[in-house]
Structure 1
Amino acid sequence: MQHLRDLYSGEWLKTCTVEYFREVKDRSSKHQDNWNYSDFVNFPKQHGFEIKDGYILYSSAFSEDCCCRMRPQEFQQEWLFFQLISCVVQESHGPILAREELICHGHQLNTGNLNRALTRWHKYLEKCHDEDPEATTMKFLEANQILELAKQVVIANLADKPNRLFVPQAKGVRHDPDEEKDEQALCYMILGETLSAVLVHAMKKCNVKLPGWEPDDEGGWGPLAHVYKKMQKGGWCPRSQATIKGQLGRNATLLYVTTCAHESNRHNIHGDQFPQQRCNSRECGFIEAEYNEAGVHQKYELSHSANCPSPKECRLVGPDEEDILDILESSEDQRKGPFPLMRIVEREGKKGIKVEQWTERTPFATISHVWSQGLGNRTERKIHACQLEMIETWVKTAFGDEDYKGHLFWIDTFAIPQNKGKEERRARLKQRAIGLIHHIFSKAKHCIIIDRHLLATSKSIHDCRTIGATLLACGWMMRLWTLQEAFTETASKSFNDLWRFTGEEDVVLLSMAGMVQRKVDHNLMVRRKADHDPTESEREAPQQPITHGRHHTRGALLMASAWRATRYRTTRNLREETLALATLLGVPISQDPTESAGRAPNGLTESNGLPATNGSSRPEASRGRKLEELMKDFWESICREDDLRNSIPPGMIFLPGKRLPFPGFGWAPLTWMSGEDEAYPYPLGTPEHPTTLKEDRGLVVKYPGFLLYPTRRKLGKIITVSKPFEFSVNRGLDEWYRVKAANQKIQQNDDSLGAEGETEEDVRLIAQDLRSRMENNEAVKIAIILSRPRPVEVTGEIGLLVELCPEDAYGSRGEPSPSEQKFLYCRIIRRVEVSRLSVGRVENCLCDEEESMTPGYGPIVSRFDKFEQEGIAGVQLHDLQEWCVDGYHHQQTPKSSMPPSPKPEDTASPPDHDGLFGRLKRAMTWSLPQMGEA
């Protein structure tokens, strides 16, 4: 890991010392100096290891006579470190780095020479591509496949569970028996990510495009237990842990670097004086401005700048609030129009604030900050004079004026009135001021970000990679209101300049800068034409607007990016979530002033009787029905907007977490700040078709899927998905699929009930209701909605197990109209993962009862035997099948929300002794008219 020191600036980066298992004499002359693709692939078998389903490593009883057997850790180091580097980073004559160059002091692994070797390898690939593009393409492919194999093995055998959350425990030094193993895994993960980043950079530089061979899983070789345990031992806030893990995903390099960069950040590590039980994985109860440097609790205090000469004598300064109110009152436009700006002026030798009205083409800067760090004010529109002087310096620096003329700026502490004593005028103008935020930030020439930790560390930061890593886990990046402040075209230009400035043309620096850039962009809703590379910089490719594409796609990509950037952010008052989202997306604000918490964006909840969450209780306890209604109103507002009404991302139906309990909205997440991860293959980002919200019925989407026809006994097991099940979709029984419950979050030592915990209870109640209906001989028809056609074999792809509702299509109106015949109305039972099974696996697998296949059966007959034992058949639907998706209304009592039961004569279930074929024949008589054009 020593090569990281050349990539990040500052003394904060600490690299682990990884033990070198002294060379094992494992190669005879037969294998000496062979470092090609076949050598890497065959290495496990030669040394007594097998790679089975899921890339799990197993020790076998056999190894080649010329190769000695190794312990698992010795084998992993030899294969995933030495062999990986030698077989990938090479020139025509062989590996660039000798084994001795990868070892230091005779007992430690050393990557200090890696960056030099990677630069040389990159130049070699460019030269080869200029001379022989076809042959070099195969070099790229072989290197890519070596890295893919190593990556999957590392993830399957060495990575920690990505959804496991550690919570700080009682103090005390404890020996971790796995520490050495964790450090070894960290080394292999960071190595693999570095090699992959440079390979991708080289392919882009050579313009080698290989659709289908490019990674589509957001990269990363982790996550790694070493960093998770490091956070736990360091006293990290559970909420910060969950946020960083969610934002950075499996990227082991950024997880490690970001954790090191924030060891002194009080936003993430609150200190010994703060009660840890006030934080959980969903919420953080820490407010920096309420604790002094010694960690002693105090009332919320306005902060001073670090350079304040005399904090006790520092006066408060602010604008005349009546001037603010008058400007806001001068227009009735809730989304555009004039707004107040501030100019710093001298009055009797002291600095003051002059309020001016914005007009078109007036240059100004916006200030984006975190209220909990002390730059906000609960009671009046004032800050300390030292802070005002620092703002003046920042504004001057942003405009780059040698002769400062007092440029205009906007900050919410001054510009958004507070609702004092429920005064109607202030409440009305506060709502207008909040509604103008999107307009204000889009018109700004500069956006200045203020974060305590960034200010404290910025003097020692000299490169874009370190700035990005520091930005990713700072308090500013975790707040909901700051997202819409950052999401403007003009503000993003500064980030574009940041990535262009690397200081030199080192391909490793550029490759790793691109890795950081993608994560920062992802969390700030920035979309670009291509990942950062030198050719992009030469062309000065502009930031790609998120609204690039077809009409419905533009809005869907905007909302998808908003969800991804919002899910790990927080706000002190949950009632303001929809207000912030509406402002972010530029839609009319549906809630009146009394429905918000009575504070400015980024601010702290005023004493107005509304509950403010502080981590001491379950978040849902403070939500109440009102929050559900606000989210419902938000979606209705989306559908009233001409630019967004058909742009609800269809992938929303696959998101985890609790859903809204209203008819027609059972597909919609209860909150966007769920702290949940999107599942593979990330359908939220591929909105190919427009959607329609049908009143009281659901969201109409187009996705492939299967109609399922199980026996009654099998159906009772399927509705809970307590165990995986498999089914075939054709009469040749040569195409099989496996379905299992989607992964859920694991929260160690955390008594708070997360969103997935609530969802599991909903699933149990839904299954209980379905079983009850089956016992009453009511028909229960089920299907699966896929997120894309033909799921892959290795990784399960997200889907939905749904109940079909034929009565909704017909209702009391008789036959459906031709436009409705292709609809399949359904209700979500639960999220599932679907994978395709290889024919060989089907022929050799165990049946549901975990008994071997009938002895003496050949592979062909085994399929037919398996078909009978599984007791389920699937009918494949058209790739553009239309589904009208809803949920079980008021899921706590799903039975009360069920539609009227169908007539017995239409739905009476056949006796179980009829078997699968009889049930399939009867079920098809219902499904065929419904499939329509599909």
Structure 2
Amino acid sequence: MQSRVFKPSVWLNFNHDGYPLVPFEQYLEVRNQHPTPNQDESAEMGVSNTAAQMQSLLTFGLIEGVVEKHVPECALTRKTSNGGTVITKDGLGHIIKDWARRICKNKDNYTPWLERAHTTLKRANSLLAGLVSLQFRCFEPLGDDAPSTVCLIAMIGEALANAKRAFKQSPPREGFAWGMVLTPHYHSLLEEDMLAQGWCPSVISYLTSTVSVSSLEYAVSCGPMNDGKDHQHCSPQSCATYVVDTTTYAAQHTSTCRSLLGRLRDTCYNISVDLREVEGLLLAGEIPVIKLDKDEDGHGYKLSVHKGRDVEYVAISHVWADGLGSTTEDGLPVCQIRRLTTLVGRQTAFWIDSLCIPRAESVRKKAIGMMAQTYSQAKAVLVLDRTLQLCQSTAPLGVRILRVLTSGWMQRLWTLQEAVLSKALYLNFADAQTPLNGLIPSTSVMLLSSHLTDLAGGLFRLTKKSAHGVYSVGDIARSLRWRTTNRPSDETLAIASLLGVQPSILVNIKSELRMIRLIQELGSIPSNVLFLKGSKLQVPGFRWLPSSFMAAQGASSGGSQLSTGSPDGRVTPRGLEATYYALKFPKTRIEEGKPWVLKDTKCDRLYEVVDPIHSVGSYECGMLLLPGWLFAANPSACVAVSILGHSSENDDGSFVVYTEYQRRLLIRKKPFLGEITAASGPSAISVAVSGSICVCVG
């Protein structure tokens, strides 16, 4: 099925060929064209001409501006069976490969060339952002072809930006957001098309809010895995097929179990390990691992328990919904244990929660406190996921990456820790086991495939700690956003070890206070945590702190994400201390649901402030905090705070202003004050002070 936003785009026959090669900003000028209709044109002709100009400028003009070589129309356009002409990105790979070859041959001008490419991409991206703010009105003459035209432009921008980034000596620069082209209308079209394909709503939300436009096109072209699951009861936040009712849950047999095939003489049965042995090892701080042996008469099977430090073992990472869940007391069917033994190697011990974690709460807490140790000390971690086991290891690299990213295993809470802490992570596909790092594309592959670079980023984050010794709270927040769990109280327990905090510190604390204690143990956190969407804790001093990093538990499912950079916010008993750009004004009561206006005469600026979620009740505030100086007219997150009336002086002579968190808002810069009529002024609240300030938000 072809999505309406990714179908071939009609080429509007702008006169591209036959002109000299010029920089991006001169592309229309050299063709004696202008982005507005001439006075002697009809309005309809002018609008159509503008659409053709913008289409050509942001495709051929952008490509030529970056690669600095003429690209003929025939390189990207082709005739259709009905006699029309469409433009695609099919020939873009050859253009980028040629560009890379020419850059590598021209070593002396290597850096300046990449600098010019960056400038061109930045100009094109800014122009596209302007068209987004105008709802792409210039492309309205294209009708149903408008979405695919806009998305093609974004994918070309992504491909060129990705190719520039692949050069090792490329100067580090800020990235470009091309996904902004998916306006609410285009997003709805894509969502409808993906639902019709059979994608789970939660996977659609994950993909559309996380990956690039190129990756979305690739996902749609592949379609979802045909795993027989019914997603009609799923939501954008979670997949209902992975919700387990532990009161009725029972481990499943393998699909090839003889008892399921009607061979009653080979009835399968559950076996388990000695509960006292497992509990004894756990209480002594030892990791219990399992081996399958023949029993004394040679006709049946038994499980033996060993200390993890005495033998090499493989830790199994799985999701209960796939049928391998249980406890030490209940055990697992023999068919499953025989399968596990075959997968890890008949002489190799293994650890799996279903056999090595008892049901009793006190011992379970002990085992959970040792989970990081369990997975980090295993010689390998083997991932078992039903969806992955339907995918061949010989499938195209992009398909395998996509199946991992959209698998049930990737959506669950505990599997994050299990992957990140592993020495070596293996994925069990239909026909072979593949190391996770074997799915990370090479530089030469990434150069020509922006969707692979983008998709592989989700897998690369799982290897950051083992490969580079780095894994921040920002990495965790990004990884948790689309994960779910049947036990929400386990969230902090599952991530504590990744941050160097002992889970045992949190186990016996009330679940609603665990997030506070975890952040206190860290001592610092990126200051942009203040602007994240989602539910917050209602504890004095910590009203700024998300109650969860998982969207299914009230965290943000979109918008800005927690920074993976240095944690520049200090956690204190009174709140979060950090430096923000502030707009201070007289204490004002803001009425529920009404937008309001701030007037900063000093900077000749006017701001409009709105509550995006229409919170109930009025509130008082005297200051807005922003991530930084507001440049564009696009809305930016800000936080309203009330000033508590006192401040303190730091050792360096700076002052800290103490405030109380009120709510997250959106602020937008309106036209300059000089352009505003006098009638709009009286209702505006005057800003007394603006600039960077150190505050403590409680």
Relative to the length of structure 2, the TM-score reads: 0.82
2:249 & 2:290 partners in 1: Cα distance? 25
| Alignment pair present for 1:197 and 2:162 | yes
Q: Which residue of 2 aligns with 1:740?
A: 609
Alpha carbons of structure 1 residues 112 and 657: separation in structure 2 relative to 1, 3 Å: closer
- 1:386-401 to 2 correspondence within 5 Å? 386-396=335-345
| Alignment pair present for 1:340 and 2:317 | no
| Alignment pair present for 1:471 and 2:404 | yes
Q: Is this contact kept in 2: 1:327–1:338, CA < 8 A?
A: no
**CA-CA distance at 1:157 after TM superposition:** 5.7
**CA-CA distance at 1:797 after TM superposition:** 3.8
**CA-CA distance at 1:411 after TM superposition:** 1.0
Q: Which residue of 2 aligns with 1:487?
A: 420
Match for 2:319: what amino acid? V
2:334 & 2:134 partners in 1: Cα distance? 56
Q: As a proportion of its length, which structure holds more strand? A: 2
Q: Which residue of 2 aligns with 1:209?
A: 171
| Alignment pair present for 1:103 and 2:43 | no
**CA-CA distance at 1:358 after TM superposition:** 1.1
Q: Deviations over 1:535-573 (max 9, x none)?
A: xxxxxxx822226xxxxxxxxx3x222222112211123
**CA-CA distance at 1:501 after TM superposition:** 5.6
Q: Which residue of 2 aligns with 1:663?
A: 540
2:22 & 2:110 partners in 1: Cα distance? 22
Aligned residues: 670
SS where residue 286 of structure 2 aligns? Answer: coil
**CA-CA distance at 1:514 after TM superposition:** 2.4
Match for 1:580: what amino acid? A
Q: Is this contact kept in 1: 2:441–2:456, CA < 8 A?
A: no
Match for 2:663: what amino acid? R
Task: Give the one of 256, 260, 283 matched to 2:217.
Answer: 256
Q: Which residue of 1 aligns with 2:10?
A: 20
Task: Give the one of 617, 624, 627 matched to 1:784.
Answer: 624
1:159 & 1:363 partners in 2: Cα distance? 60
**CA-CA distance at 1:19 after TM superposition:** 4.5
Alpha carbons of structure 1 residues 543 and 638: separation in structure 2 relative to 1, 3 Å: same
1:795 & 1:492 partners in 2: Cα distance? 42
SS where residue 111 of structure 1 aligns? Answer: coil
Q: Which residue of 2 aligns with 1:825?
A: 658
Q: Is this contact kept in 2: 1:119–1:507, CA < 8 A?
A: no
Q: Is this contact kept in 1: 2:551–2:557, CA < 8 A?
A: no
Match for 1:377: what amino acid? S
**CA-CA distance at 1:439 after TM superposition:** 1.1
Alpha carbons of structure 1 residues 113 and 389: separation in structure 2 relative to 1, 3 Å: farther
1:315 & 1:260 partners in 2: Cα distance? 44
**CA-CA distance at 1:665 after TM superposition:** 2.3
2:87 & 2:23 partners in 1: Cα distance? 22
1:794 & 1:447 partners in 2: Cα distance? 49
Q: Is this contact kept in 1: 2:214–2:450, CA < 8 A?
A: no
SS where residue 182 of structure 1 aligns? Answer: helix
- Higher RCO structure (Cα 8 Å, ≥6 apart): 1
Q: Which residue of 1 aligns with 2:121?
A: 144
Q: Which residue of 2 aligns with 1:232?
A: 195
1:244 & 1:832 partners in 2: Cα distance? 26
**CA-CA distance at 1:100 after TM superposition:** 5.7
Alpha carbons of structure 1 residues 331 and 660: separation in structure 2 relative to 1, 3 Å: same
- What fraction of aligned residue pairs are identical, expressed as a percent? 18
1:573 & 1:289 partners in 2: Cα distance? 10
**CA-CA distance at 1:18 after TM superposition:** 1.5
Q: Deviations over 1:475-523 (max 9, x none)?
A: 1111112112112152469866325565x9446346543222223334x
Q: Which residue of 1 aligns with 2:637?
A: 798
Q: Deviations over 1:817-836 (max 9, x none)?
A: 87799332212222234566
Alpha carbons of structure 1 residues 41 and 476: separation in structure 2 relative to 1, 3 Å: farther
Alpha carbons of structure 1 residues 316 and 875: separation in structure 2 relative to 1, 3 Å: farther
**CA-CA distance at 1:365 after TM superposition:** 1.4
Q: Deviations over 1:573-631 (max 9, x none)?
A: 333334434465443346668x9xxxxxxxxxxxxxxxxxxxxxxxxxxxxxxxxx523
1:592 & 1:786 partners in 2: Cα distance? 36
Alpha carbons of structure 1 residues 699 and 687: separation in structure 2 relative to 1, 3 Å: farther
Q: Deviations over 1:254-281 (max 9, x none)?
A: 22323454523558x615xxxx4x4433
SS where residue 587 of structure 1 aligns? Answer: coil
1:727 & 1:315 partners in 2: Cα distance? 79
Q: Which residue of 1 aligns with 2:512?
A: 631
**CA-CA distance at 1:723 after TM superposition:** 2.6
**CA-CA distance at 1:150 after TM superposition:** 5.3
| Alignment pair present for 1:545 and 2:421 | no
Alpha carbons of structure 1 residues 847 and 803: separation in structure 2 relative to 1, 3 Å: farther
Task: Give the one of 683, 689, 695 matched to 1:875.
Answer: 689
Q: Is this contact kept in 1: 2:315–2:352, CA < 8 A?
A: yes
**CA-CA distance at 1:341 after TM superposition:** 0.7
Q: Is this contact kept in 2: 1:366–1:409, CA < 8 A?
A: yes
Q: Which residue of 2 aligns with 1:461?
A: 395
Q: Deviations over 1:803-847 (max 9, x none)?
A: 1111xx49xxxxx7877993322122222345667xxx4155334
Q: Which residue of 2 aligns with 1:187?
A: 152
SS where residue 798 of structure 1 aligns? Answer: strand
Q: Is this contact kept in 1: 2:624–2:640, CA < 8 A?
A: yes
SS where residue 572 of structure 1 aligns? Answer: coil
2:470 & 2:601 partners in 1: Cα distance? 39
SS where residue 366 of structure 2 aligns? Answer: helix
Q: Which residue of 2 aligns with 1:611?
A: none
Q: Which residue of 2 aligns with 1:569?
A: 483
Match for 1:429: what amino acid? V
Q: Is this contact kept in 1: 2:524–2:567, CA < 8 A?
A: no
Gaps of 5+ in 2: 427-433
Q: Is this contact kept in 1: 2:155–2:213, CA < 8 A?
A: yes
1:194 & 1:132 partners in 2: Cα distance? 22
Alpha carbons of structure 1 residues 326 and 350: separation in structure 2 relative to 1, 3 Å: closer
Alpha carbons of structure 1 residues 822 and 721: separation in structure 2 relative to 1, 3 Å: farther
Alpha carbons of structure 1 residues 64 and 123: separation in structure 2 relative to 1, 3 Å: farther
Match for 2:631: what amino acid? V
SS where residue 765 of structure 1 aligns? Answer: coil
Q: Is this contact kept in 2: 1:41–1:146, CA < 8 A?
A: no
**CA-CA distance at 1:353 after TM superposition:** 2.9
Task: Give the one of 553, 562, 571 matched to 1:692.
Answer: 571
Alpha carbons of structure 1 residues 705 and 359: separation in structure 2 relative to 1, 3 Å: same
Q: Is this contact kept in 2: 1:705–1:876, CA < 8 A?
A: yes
Q: Deviations over 1:284-340 (max 9, x none)?
A: 4334889xxxxxxx9756344455566244754666432x5424424646xxx3111
Q: Which residue of 2 aligns with 1:765?
A: 617
Q: Deviations over 1:386-418 (max 9, x none)?
A: 43343334324xxxxxxxx51121111111112
Task: Give the one of 475, 491, 502 matched to 1:587.
Answer: 502
**CA-CA distance at 1:802 after TM superposition:** 0.8
Q: Is this contact kept in 2: 1:186–1:252, CA < 8 A?
A: yes
1:817 & 1:145 partners in 2: Cα distance? 42
Alpha carbons of structure 1 residues 38 and 786: separation in structure 2 relative to 1, 3 Å: closer
Aligned residues: CA RMSD? 4.2
| Alignment pair present for 1:270 and 2:230 | yes
Q: Is this contact kept in 2: 1:725–1:739, CA < 8 A?
A: yes
Match for 2:120: what amino acid? A
Q: Which residue of 2 aligns with 1:894?
A: none
Q: Is this contact kept in 2: 1:227–1:259, CA < 8 A?
A: no
Alpha carbons of structure 1 residues 157 and 43: separation in structure 2 relative to 1, 3 Å: farther
Gaps of 5+ in 1: 1-10, 50-58, 161-176, 291-297, 397-404, 419-425, 529-541, 548-556, 596-628, 745-759, 771-780, 811-815, 851-865, 887-934
Q: Deviations over 1:432-466 (max 9, x none)?
A: 11111111111122111111111101345242x33
| Alignment pair present for 1:411 and 2:352 | yes
Match for 2:624: what amino acid? I
Task: Give the one of 242, 257, 277 matched to 1:326.
Answer: 277
SS where residue 329 of structure 1 aligns? Answer: helix
Task: Give the one of 528, 533, 539 matched to 1:651.
Answer: 528
